[in-house]
A and B are shown apart, each in its own frame.
Chain A
Amino acid sequence: MLFILRRFVLLLPLLLGITFITFMLTRALPGDPVFNIVGERSSPEVIEKIRREIGADQGVLRQYGGYVALLSQGELGRSLFTNRNVADDIRVKFPNTLRLAVASMLIAAPLGVLLGFISARRKGRPADRMITLLSVSGISLPVFWSGLLLMLFFSLRLRLLPPSGTGGLPYLILPALTLSLPAIATLVRVTRVTVIDLLDTPFIRTARAKGVSEAAISLVHILKNALIPVITVIGLEFGSYLNGAVLTETIFGWDGIGRYAMEGIIKRDYPVIMGCLLIGTLVFVLMNLIVDIIYHYADPRVRLHGTDR
């Protein structure tokens, strides 16, 4: 409990730092900083109120204070073009993005762990080399390109799946597959290294000496222990999901935060871009926190020695 509490307290300075960076970025944008934060078509009263709160004539720190006060009210400003509330837009699009993220993890996690496991057990053999090469390719493919190729093949040529749009399972498959490729690759690498390390440990040798079957060793002894780093990677991949989603959601016309950010970038809709950056980072930081907490409870060794993590 104390550990969780401490991690939450540590979150505060981090959030201050993050907002300070986004604030400095917003200030550096061309144009009026007040408009860049709330949009120029907000009602005059709102603009007046915000100008008072982060008035341009005040010192940087006072302005930053005003900015944080605005953020803490859930105010991410208004789009420069549609004049819609950015926080509202994000709230509407977030479930779509979440759905895609979960779907791509549902593909990536089992595949990545399985392939990594096979690769480790067949270390040095052709199967291992194949899988290693595939995983290097997986982290090296630009998602916007692999996405386009998948779309060309499965939607435009074979006509099996819709090429773009937001909707049920058929719409979900291709973008989720695209996003899962780099995640699978990362998971393979991590699982492989972990399992190879584990195979060298005395307790596996002991298990073998006791006559435990290979299948039981794989399932009980190795997989269980390999799960901890694997969970970490799944969490981190999940958290940094928006990195790839900006490109993938755009390609597939998926109505999530990634495409929203892309539209903001094209139109230079600063409040939209900064809102997405903030939300994406917040999700990332929270996922890190959750991973740390799981880590703490899943691995007694961390609890004993690593309380300062």
Chain B
Amino acid sequence: MGLTGKISATLLLAVFLLSWAAPLLVPYDPDAIDLDSLRQPPSARHILGTDNKGRDILSRILYGGKISISISLLAAFVSMTIGFAIGLVSGYAGGRVDTALMALVDLILSFPAFLLAIGISIVLPTGIYTVLTAISSVGWASFARLIRGHVLSLKESAFVEAARALGCGNARIVIIHLLPQCVPLAFVMAGLKAGGYILTEAGLSFLGLGAQPPTATWGSMISASRVFINSAPWMVLFPGIMIALSAICFNLLGDAMKEKYDVTAREVS
């Protein structure tokens, strides 16, 4: 993996670990209201400043990062797992099963993704798992289509024929022979998608459909502070930098993996 890939992976890991270790690191309770230090610009006491309730922004960013990054990673994992299973079955079984499953995939993909995620979110009770459910129930479809396409081409190759000639059952062919071949492709896509999921999670939180106050997420921090954009721009600036940075790292990591595993751009995008 190239240098950019390594840097991105390191940065992501750092953000991830820091956010999980936040309770040990930050001197302030992220939800503690301090009326003596409202909207203070970055200083030695509060490195990234405070918000309109006097809460330490660095603390909130780290605590919020735990939610934002975990949810995106989980969403990528859940989407990948569901999409993987459906794609394998659909591609290998072919026939009516394939037609039916791909009709469902096409149906989901015919919605603008973020709008559908909003539609699903408002049906569910608000909370962090709402966002996870909403993203995953839209996200699996692109994974399923990708894996299915790959299985379709693999199915015809000589090693599958050989396995069948040796008497391998369908289950064995799918699990032992086809599945491992699809793993790199799925991981590349998961890396690229996770960047998008960070943005979706942030967007849904911004709309108030994610974790509820006072719990901090990067999206909801921006949403709550946008009225102070002129008087206290740092309140908006720093959470956004974290969102953008994480999304950029995920995308660069995905690109790096794409090159490493020699996946052509068209297959994934």
Contact = CB atoms under 8 A, between A and B. Distances in A.
B110 A285 contact: yes
B114 A22 contact: no
Nearest to B248: A140
A268 interface: yes
A152 B240 CA distance: 14
Interface in A161-189: 189
Interface in A244-283: 244, 246-247, 251, 261-262, 265-266, 268, 270, 273-274, 276-277, 280-281
Interface string A141-172: 11011101101100010000000000000000
Interface in B237-261: 237, 239-240, 243-244, 247-248, 250-252, 255
Contact of B115 (A28, A144, A149, A277): A277
Given A18-B110, A265-B207, A148 B115 contact: no
B222 A277 contact: no
Contacts of A136: 248, 251-252, 255
B255 A277 contact: no
From A18, A136, A146, name the one whose CB has the most chain B CB atoms within 10 angstroms: A136
Contacts of A95: none
A197 to B, nearest CB: 9
A21 B137 CA distance: 12
Interface string A284-299: 1100100000000000
A281 to B, nearest CB: 5
A261 B122 contact: no
Contact of B251 (A28, A139, A149): A139
Interface residues of A, number: 48
B115 A145 contact: no
Contacts of A265: 118, 122, 207-209
B157 interface: no
For the complex, would chain B's binding face be called helix, strand, loop or mixed by DSSP majority? helix
Interface string A8-32: 0000011001100110010011000
B207 A262 contact: yes
A140 B247 contact: yes
Given A141-B244, A145-B240, A280 B209 contact: no
Contacts of B243: 142, 145
A242 interface: yes
B122 A151 contact: no
Contact of B229 (A22, A148, A285): A148
Interface string B210-237: 0000000001001100100110010011
A17 to B, nearest CB: 4
Interface residues of B, number: 46
A112 interface: no
A75 to B, nearest CB: 19
A252 to B, nearest CB: 11
B203 A247 contact: yes
Contact of A281 (B111, B120, B122, B266): B111
A165 to B, nearest CB: 16
B106 interface: yes
Nearest to A251: B226
A29 B206 CA distance: 21
A273 B122 contact: yes
A144 B112 contact: no
Contact of A148 (B195, B236, B265): B236
Contacts of A46: none
B112 A280 contact: yes
Interface of B: 103, 106-107, 110-116, 118-120, 122-123, 195-196, 199, 202-203, 206-209, 219, 222-223, 226, 229-230, 233, 236-237, 239-240, 243-244, 247-248, 250-252, 255, 265-266, 269
10 contacts: A18-B107, A25-B119, A142-B203, A148-B226, A148-B229, A148-B236, A189-B269, A243-B112, A246-B115, A277-B119
Closest 4 CB pairs of A and B: A145-B240, A140-B247, A243-B114, A17-B107
